[in-house]
Amino acid sequence: MRSGFVVAGVLMALVVTGCGTTTEPDTPTSLTPSASTQAARPTLTDPKLQPPPQDNQYTQATARPKVVFDPCTWISDADIELTGFQPESRKRGADLVAEYTFLTCDFRTTDQTMSLGLDSGNITWEENLRKNGEWLEPTTVNGRQAGFVNGEPGSENDCSVHLLTKVGVVFVRTHSLSLGQRQNLDPCANIMEIASVVEKSIGKEN
């Protein structure tokens, strides 16, 4: 399950303003490499988990780099266990490959009270700030520039940390499911620890 929190606010807005237009992408930040960045190297080989190709009529028309870090194949089962989520629940989300690319993976806890969504994309940090800056509280995760989402209206069952990468951003999203909401679970309770595990999987080179 994807919380409507970050993905709906960012991805849907980007799709509406992106696909079918000829708008030039924002100038990449100093951390952004060229568009020749290689696609993700899978570490998990289950065919159902592999990322989609990142070459189509939309991606070829932009200067955006390919998304390198794929959250569904780069994060080990052992690391997912460290986050408190069930490795067996690993499921490929609704990837978006257009003028903007987001590779997505979803997990759940064993007791079905919480979900974890990971989105790895190639929007710039500046674009992210324009969409979410009002809610982002600057922070760092293992020394990596990041933002903690704080105070977004209607997000009492969601929590998120945004991580800066060399090609864009990674969103770490936790969501309190209906069973968790009945137990008044705090979706932000362990978000920074979860983000730390995810950050280490991204790799310093990314």
Encode pLDDT of 159-202 as tens digits.
999 999 999 999 999 999 999 999 999 999 999 999 999 999 99
Considering only CA atoms, which of 171, 75, 76, 74 is closest in space to residue 117?
A: 171
What are residue 108's DSSP bridge partners? 115
Residue that has been written with the tokens 């030039």 in this structure: 24
Q: Is the pLDDT of residue 4 over 80?
A: no
Report helix, strand or coil for 169: strand
The mean pLDDT of 145-154, rounded to a whole number, is 89
Considering only CA atoms, which of 13, 2, 200 is closest in space to residue 119?
A: 2
7-21+54-202: CATH topology: Protein Transport Mog1p; Chain A (3.40.1000)
Binning pLDDT at 50, 70 and 90, where does residue 3 land? very low
Q: Is the pLDDT of residue 204 over 90?
A: yes
pTM of the model: 0.80
